[in-house]
Structure 1
Amino acid sequence: MKHLRLAALCSAVLLFVLSIPFACQKEKDSNKVPEGQQRVRIFLSDNPVNFDKVNVDIRQVIVQVIPDSCRGRDNNGNDCYDDDEYRCSVWDTLDIRPGVYNLLDLSNGTDTLLANGFTIAGRINKIKLVLGTQNSVVVDSVSYPLTLWNNNNTVTIQVRGQDIDEVTSDELQLWLDFDAGASIVKVSNNRFVLKPKLKLFVPARTAGVKGKVLPDDARAVVSAVANGDTLIAIPERHDGRFKIRGLRGSSALVLINATRNGYRDTSFTVNLQAGRDTDVGTIRLRN
C-alpha cells in the first residue's frame, strides 16, 4: 500500500465550480435575464494537495460563446453550429474579484464566488483563465514562487455539451477541476513551476465519497480511484472530515494512506451513484 502514497500525494485535485446561472448583486437577483443573454456565476473550490498553501493569482475569467444566431439544423433535425467558430464566437469577460486565492482554504466541498456576469445567449465553447505573477506554494512553512510555464499566463479549457448542467434555457452550470498534483512541477529543491491542468465535471452526472478519518496525528491522505482517475482529499485537522467529488463510474477504490507516526494504511471499495455522495462513516486507523 505504501507504494501508492506518492501517486496519491501527486494527484490532488483542485476544484473550480462554474455555474452559468448569474446573480449580479442581491438587488438584481430578482430581475429577469435580458433578452438574448444568459446568466453566469463562477465559484472556486478545492480538493487539496500536500502543501501548506497553494496561492494562485487569478486576474480574469473569460468565456467564449457561439451565439444562437450561428445555430442551424443538421440532417437529423438536431441543433448544430456553424463550423466557422472564429467568425461566430464572442468572448465575454466576467466580473471577478481579482487577486491571490489560497486554494487550500477551499477544501472538502467548500466554495467561494469567483466571478459572475451576463454573456450573450449561446453555446459555451471555451473558458479562459488569465493568471497574474503572484503565484506561490508554501512547503514546511517556507514560501516558494510559482513561475508560469513558458511565461504563459492563460489557461484555456474546451467545453463540451456533456460538461454543462442546463438548469434552464438561460441558466447553465459548470464545475472546473484544477489538478494541482499535475500542475505544480518541482524542478529543483527551491524552484516550482505552474503548468495548469484542468478538466470539467458535472456533480449531477458524477459521484462523491465522504466520511471521517481518525486520528489526526496519522496525517492521512484519502484517494479515490474510479474509471482510471485518482482524486484526493486531505481530512480536516479538527474533525477528520473529508469529501471527494467528480468521480465517474459505478465503483471506486478508496485508499487511506497514513503518512506519520506508524499508522497502518487501509483500503476498501465503495459503490457509486451519480448525483450522490457515498458516506463511508468514520475510519479509525491502527498502529
Structure 2
Amino acid sequence: MKTVKFFIILIGVVTLFACNTTKTPSSPQSVSFLLTDAPALQGFQLNFTKVNVQITEIDYVTADSSITKVTSFVPGIYDLKSLMNGDSTLLSQIILPNNTAIKQVRLVLGSDNTVTLADGTTHALTIPSGQQSGIKINVDSTVPSSGDYSIMIDFNIGRSIFQNGNGVYLLKPVLRAFVVEATSNIKGNISPSDLPTKVFVINGTDTISTISDTTKNNYFQLSGFTAGSYTVQFMPMDTTVVTKTATADVSFGSDTNLGTVVVK
C-alpha cells in the first residue's frame, strides 16, 4: 500500500513539474514609427522656413517579406523644418508578435506638399510620377528580438528638394530609417552661440548633416549611429570652408557628447 501511494505522489510531482516548464507565449512588442529631419541644406535651400510634406499611408515589410498597412496611422501634413537636431514626432504605434523584425518601411506621400521661403512666399512641391506610389526605406540597424522599439524615419530635405529651370520646386524624397534602441546620437553645442553652423558626420561613404540651432544655445544632434569612430566637421554658415574637425567615438547604448565646439 505504501508503494502505491509513493507511486501516485511521484506521478503528481512529475506532472506538476512538466506543467511549470511549459513554454509560455512571449509578450508582444510595441513598435513606434517616428519622423525627423537631418537636413543638408545648401544654396537656395537656406531660404526655406517651412517644408510641409503630406503623408497619407505607412506600410511595413517583415522578414518574411509580407507587407502590412499601418491602419492606426492618421494621414497628416508635417513641417520637416521643425523636426531637426533631435526633435521628432510620432507617426503611429503598432503591436506585433514578439521577435517580429521589420526590415523595410514604405511611405506614401500625398499631393499637398509645399515649401515656404524667407520672403513669405509658398510654393508647391511636385513629386515625380514614379515616386507617387510609395517610397521604400530599408531599416539600417538590427531590430531587437524582444522588447519595445522605435523606428526613426529621417527625411533629408537637403537632398530631396530641387528647382528646375522653370522655377518649379521638385520633391524627390531621400530618406533613411534606423532603430532608435540599436543606435546612438552625436551631439553638442557650438561657440559662438549666435553663429549657425553646418555639422557633417562622415559615415563611411555617406555623410549625414544638420544645421545647429541658435535658439537652443547653438545645439546640434545627429542620430542613427552604430558603435564606431566617426569624423565630424563644422562649417559656419558665414563661410564655405570647414573650420573645425573632431572625432566622435560612439559606444552602443550611450550618446556621444562633444561638448562645446569652438568653430571660430
TM range (shorter): 0.7 to 0.9
Q: TM-score, normalised by structure 2?
A: 0.73
**Is 2:135 aligned against 1:155?**
yes
Identical amino acids, percent of aligned pairs: 28
From 107, 117, 121, the counterpart of 1:129: 107
The aligned residue for residue 201 of structure 1 is: 178
The aligned residue for residue 57 of structure 2 is: 60
Structure 1 segments unaligned to the other structure (5+ residues): 1-33, 67-80
Equivalent runs, 1:129-278 vs 2, <5 Å: 129-141=107-119, 142-150=121-129, 152-153=131-132, 154-159=134-139, 162-168=141-147, 171-188=148-165, 190-238=167-215, 239-248=217-226, 250-260=228-238, 265-278=243-256
Deviation at 1:225, TM superposition (A): 1.0
> Does the residue aligned with 1:181 lie in a helix, a strand or coil?
helix
Contact in 2 for aligned 1:94/1:115 (Cα 8 Å): no
Q: Deviations over 1:215-243 (max 9, x none)?
A: 25433111111222211121112210111
The answer to which structure, 1 or 2, has the higher relative contact order (CA under 8 A, 6+ apart) is 1
> Does the residue aligned with 1:96 lie in a helix, a strand or coil?
coil
> Does the residue aligned with 1:165 lie in a helix, a strand or coil?
coil
> Does the residue aligned with 1:104 lie in a helix, a strand or coil?
helix
Deviation at 1:49, TM superposition (A): 4.1
Contact in 2 for aligned 1:126/1:158 (Cα 8 Å): yes
Q: TM-score, normalised by structure 1?
A: 0.68
Q: Deviations over 1:38-57 (max 9, x none)?
A: 53322222223433222111
**What is the root-mean-square deviation in Å for CA atoms of aligned residues?**
3.1
The structure with the largest strand share of the pair is: 1
Greater mean deviation of Cα atoms: 235-244 or 117-126: 117-126
Deviation at 1:102, TM superposition (A): 0.5
Letter aligned with residue 219 of structure 2: R
Q: Deviations over 1:231-262 (max 9, x none)?
A: 11211122101111123452121111112279
Contact in 2 for aligned 1:211/1:280 (Cα 8 Å): yes
Q: Which structure would you say has the larger Rg?
A: 2
The aligned residue for residue 107 of structure 1 is: 84
Q: Using a 3 Å threshold, how does the CA distance of structure 1 residues 284 and 129 change in structure 2: closer, same or farther?
A: same
The aligned residue for residue 46 of structure 1 is: 37
Aligned counterparts of 2:27 and 2:71: Cα–Cα separation in 1: 17
Aligned counterparts of 1:95 and 1:212: Cα–Cα separation in 2: 37
Contact in 1 for aligned 2:150/2:181 (Cα 8 Å): no
Aligned counterparts of 2:40 and 2:114: Cα–Cα separation in 1: 13
The aligned residue for residue 93 of structure 1 is: 70
